[in-house]
Amino acid sequence: MTVRGRFAPSPSGRMHLGNLLAALLAWLDVRSQGGIMVLRIEDLDPQRCSLNKAEQLVEDLQWLGLDWDEGGLEPEYCQSHRSHHYQVAFDRLEAMGLVYPCYCTRAERLAASAPHASDGAVVYNRRCAQLTQTQRDMLEAQGRRPAFRVRVPHQTVTVDDGHMGPYTQQLDTDCGDFIVRRSDGVWAYQLAVVVDDALMGVNHVVRGCDLLTSTPAQAWLHRTLGYQPPAFYHLPLLVDAQGRRLSKRDRDLDLGVLREKYTPQELVGWLGWLAGLQKEPKSATPRQLISRFQWSKVPKKSIAIGST
Ligand SMILES: [Zn+2]
């Protein structure tokens, strides 16, 4: 079977070092197996995303020397233009009786939920699942607009991650009923990513470990909608010398700043070294790393980066 992987950047800002590592390894995973690379723009949130930023992302990927075979800025590969696909999936979930409106505010959700043991995320307590139609009508009359949640079963789901190994969650207690459409009408990432990967034929998903905890729910959603879940490969997080996770707040590691300091070959060589593909952080093109790429070389534990 042909490997089909994807870049799925969100144009809410410049990519940071963690995004670059994920992009490079997703590309190497595909190119080392003669696969097809898809570029999808994850611009669901109109408040945070813009076409200008999406164009910058595309230009940044090209600057790094990463290419793709399908997708890009064409509407059919931009989530903001794919509502009709998400609506079809939503309607199917609704027809299965799995969707219900949730009127909770953020404060109510936090107050009424038990913190998730492993990553601090909260598990929704199904407060709104029991509302009667009369109660719903009263809330709507007060001007409350619901988000929509999907009801997960009491089921254990194990994802056999291609890099990290088996990862198991009990869906109802570890994940909880998750939002598929926000109260402002924006489709939730969890629904969009599953629909898009399925409809775009993506069968290899390479991404950061911060998404591992959402993966069992995504695998379940794939199967519930009649799709085959892709193979998942999660990358360790990048951390600073103190072991803190890098984030978009570390502005010195976003590509706008990195491009002022490094050539693409220096940056790719550095990422290749962080990923265990070369012994030194010497310059390299993405193509030069293809023959050196093996998942067994990539660290599983968090990768500490030195000073830039
Ligand atoms: Zn609720």
d(CA 83, CA 89): 10
Distance 274 CA to ligand 1 centre (A): 42
Distance 116 CA to ligand 1 centre (A): 17
Give tens-digit pLDDT for 28-82. 999 999 999 999 999 999 899 999 999 999 999 999 999 999 999 999 999 999 9
d(CA 83, CA 110): 29
**Is 247 found in the same domain as 179?**
no
Distance 132 CA to ligand 1 centre (A): 13
**Is 103 found in the same domain as 24?**
no
Whether 282 is covered by a domain: the verdict is yes
Whether 264 is covered by a domain: the verdict is yes
Domains held by the chain: number: 2
pLDDT greater than 80 at residue 222: yes
Q: Which residue has the tokens 């020397």?
A: 65
- State both tokens at 224: 């519930």
Q: What is the DSSP letter of 185?
A: S
Name the band, by pLDDT with cuts 50, 70 and 90, for residue 242: confident
- Provide the domain limits for residue 275: 4-81+236-304
- State both tokens at 253: 């590691």
Distance 183 CA to ligand 1 centre (A): 11
Distance 200 CA to ligand 1 centre (A): 32
pLDDT greater than 90 at residue 87: yes
Question: CA 200 → CA 70, 78, 182, distances in Å?
Answer: 10, 12, 24
Whether 21 is covered by a domain: the verdict is yes
Whether 92 is covered by a domain: the verdict is no
**Is 176 found in the same domain as 102?**
yes
**Is 102 found in the same domain as 60?**
no
**Is 74 found in the same domain as 104?**
no
Backbone angles phi, psi at 13, to 5 degrees: 170, -175
**Is 138 found in the same domain as 72?**
no
- State both tokens at 238: 């990048």
Distance 3 CA to ligand 1 centre (A): 40
**Is 72 found in the same domain as 111?**
no
Whether 231 is covered by a domain: the verdict is no
**Is 103 found in the same domain as 61?**
no
Instruction: Single out the residue in 168, 189, 210 at which a domain terminates.
Output: 189
Give tens-digit pLDDT for 150-168. 999 999 999 999 999 999 9
Give tens-digit pLDDT for 110-131. 666 655 545 566 789 899 999 9
Q: What is the DSSP letter of 234?
A: E
- The mean per-residue pLDDT over the stretch 183-202 comes to 97
d(CA 300, CA 308): 22
CATH code of residue 157: 3.90.800.10
Give tens-digit pLDDT for 77-86. 999 999 999 9
Distance 110 CA to ligand 1 centre (A): 10
- State both tokens at 13: 């800002």
**Is 164 found in the same domain as 128?**
yes
Alpha helices in the chain (DSSP H): 17-31, 51-64, 83-95, 106-111, 133-141, 189-199, 215-224, 255-261, 264-274, 286-290
Q: Given this model, what pLDDT does residue 117 score?
A: 46
Query: Residue 158: which H helix or E strand, with range?
Result: strand 156-161
The distance of Cα 279 from the centroid of its chain, to the nearest Å, equals 29
CATH code of residue 248: 3.40.50.620
Distance 105 CA to ligand 1 centre (A): 7
Q: Given this model, what pLDDT does residue 243 score?
A: 83
Distance 128 CA to ligand 1 centre (A): 4
Whether 215 is covered by a domain: the verdict is no
Angle at 29 between CA 77 and CA 251, to 5 degrees: 70
Q: Which of 6-15, 110-119, 173-182, 203-212 has the weakest average pLDDT?
A: 110-119
Distance 230 CA to ligand 1 centre (A): 31
Question: CA 120 → CA 81, 84, 114, 125, 195, distances in Å?
Answer: 33, 33, 9, 15, 27
Whether 200 is covered by a domain: the verdict is no
Distance 152 CA to ligand 1 centre (A): 15
Distance 219 CA to ligand 1 centre (A): 24
Distance 86 CA to ligand 1 centre (A): 22
**Is 115 found in the same domain as 67?**
no
Neighbours of 276 (CB within 10 A): 16
Instruction: Single out the residue in 157, 189, 221 at which a domain terminates.
Output: 189
**Is 72 found in the same domain as 8?**
yes
**Is 104 found in the same domain as 43?**
no
Instruction: Single out the residue in 189, 217, 252 at which a domain terminates.
Output: 189
